[in-house]
Amino acid sequence: MAKSTEWGSRIGFILASAGSAIGLGAIWKFPFWAGANGGGNFIIPYIIFTFTIGVALLMAEASVGRAGRGSAVQAMKKMGGPFFAIAGFIGVISSFIILSYYSVVGGWCVSYLIGSLTNSVLSSDAETLKEGFAVLVSDPVKNVFWHFCFLTLTCGVVALGVEKGIERIAKFLMPLLFILMVVILIRSLTFPGAMKGVEFLFAIHPETMSASTILNALGFTFFSLSLGCGTIVTYGCYVKETTDIPSSSGWIAFLALLGSILSGLMILPAVFAFGLDPNAGPGLVFVTLPIVFDHFPGGAFFAVLFYICLLTAALTSSISMLEVVIAYLGNEWNVRRPRGCFACWIALFLFGCVSALSFGPWSDVKVFGKTLFDALDFLSSNILLPMGGLFIALLTGWIAWPKFKEQLNYVKNRGTAYTTFIHAMVAIIAPIVVLLVIYQAYYMCNNLFLLA
């Protein structure tokens, strides 16, 4: 592999991979998922899954990428044969679908960045902010326009070449994002009644714990670590031979988890302090943070900085997902990068309009009782990503275990106990729990179908 197609450093790979999830996966999705699933009842299994199955599958995907040196389809085909090319293609489809609705949320980030520059998004009135957000997402012209802007920005960056760009952005702006999150959460914790949010976030109530909550935590683990969608496999193909995959995967998991926890501490204390609903859905971050900034000394300035970083983190994620598709088009169909980006720009814009319009004109269109936006999110998080993870587990745990084991010990010999534990995780534990997630998704869809 040419030098230009490798990460410049180990930290670049770690920050870029973590940034793939930390963007909107942590800041946008985690607070309302934690709120909807009972706080601590959701967080504890999420932490456990992250440092067991999550880390093991991160290692597996990065190892497949480095050993296969190609797109997700090509790398998995090299490692496991033609059948696993299908599994790689599932990852490509997953990235495409996620990016289509992720771009809509990214468009909200662009809108709020513009609003922070004009100081029009800050307010102490939660009802005013909720109404403003509702107007934004329900207006078909505005929602489609901001989706167009974010997608154009994403495709433009990828068309110019992203390896060095992603690494440079990640090295500078991801640490800045963490610093700003800490500053904001400190202010959030000083609001009267904020500790109720902390208690809600970490308190465990065994009597209300359900299988659904645990499986939702597993599904979010896949989402938060970008597992099953081909991102880590694609990024893995740029990893140097001198990079230690196990320790790098541990850092990626830690940073992704830290981003989620910081986001929860940043959002939920303010939610309780201002009497908002922790189960308010995907708009929670766009309603709560403006209140926090409005109570900040120099809040308008911090709001601009934060939304710049949030947009950058969102771009880090969207670029990684688009790179999966572009790598596939280049490796399998010999499509040049600019032409592939242009084709993806058109296809993603049109398909993304489905999600953009699902909050307005198409809000009454339901699939198994869910809006089109929520249905696509459910399909990717609860079905496609777990399926991708299942194939990775079967490939590295059963078909290509000797090659995976070689990658684990490539830089440093981990010993028999460690490799045996990882083998058990990917060969036995991961397939079982992933099948449970897929079964839960089928069960929920079947019940909704019967109710309909």
Tell me the one-letter amino acid at 141.
V
Of 270-284, 324-338, 394-408, the range with the highest mean pLDDT is 394-408
- Tokens, residue 268: 């939920």
Largest CA distance in the chain: 59
The pLDDT, as a whole number, for residue 1 is: 40
Between residues 6 and 451, the one the model is more confident about: 6
| Residue 34 confidence (pLDDT) above 50 | yes
DSSP-derived letter for residue 113 is H
Between residues 165 and 287, the one the model is more confident about: 287
| Residue 115 confidence (pLDDT) above 70 | yes
- Reported in sequence order, the residue ranges of 146-302 that DSSP labels E, i.e. its strands, are none
Distance CA 324, CA 230 (A): 6
Distance CA 88, CA 65 (A): 11
Q: How far is CA 340 from the centre of its chain?
A: 23
DSSP-based three-state secondary structure for 187: helix
- Are 72 and 234 in contact by the 8 Å Cβ rule? The answer is yes
The pLDDT, as a whole number, for residue 222 is: 83
Closest CA to 64 of 29, 33, 45, 91: 91
Between residues 328 and 445, the one the model is more confident about: 328
Between residues 397 and 226, the one the model is more confident about: 397
| Residue 253 confidence (pLDDT) above 50 | yes
| Residue 451 confidence (pLDDT) above 60 | no
> Which band of pLDDT confidence, cut at 50, 70 and 90, is reported for residue 440?
confident
Closest CA to 146 of 311, 282, 28, 20: 311
DSSP-derived letter for residue 50 is I
The pLDDT, as a whole number, for residue 187 is: 87
- Are 382 and 440 in contact by the 8 Å Cβ rule? The answer is yes
**What share of the chain has pLDDT > 70, as a percent?**
94
| Residue 2 confidence (pLDDT) above 50 | no
| Residue 5 confidence (pLDDT) above 70 | no
The pLDDT, as a whole number, for residue 445 is: 66
DSSP-based three-state secondary structure for 396: helix
Tell me the one-letter amino acid at 45.
P
Residue partners of 218: CB distance under 8 A and separation at least 6 = 45, 49, 53, 386, 433, 434, 436, 437
**What share of the chain has pLDDT > 90, as a percent?**
52
Q: Which of 118-122, 151-155, 241-245, 356-360 has the lowest mean pLDDT?
A: 118-122
pTM over the 0.75 mark: yes
Mean pLDDT of 384-401: 93
Residue partners of 196: CB distance under 8 A and separation at least 6 = 269, 272, 273
Distance CA 377, CA 374 (A): 5
DSSP-based three-state secondary structure for 371: strand
One-character DSSP codes across 123-180: -S-HHHHHHHHHHHHH-HHHHHHHHHHHHHHHHHHHHH--HHHHHHHHHHHHHHHHHH
DSSP-derived letter for residue 361 is T
| Residue 4 confidence (pLDDT) above 60 | no
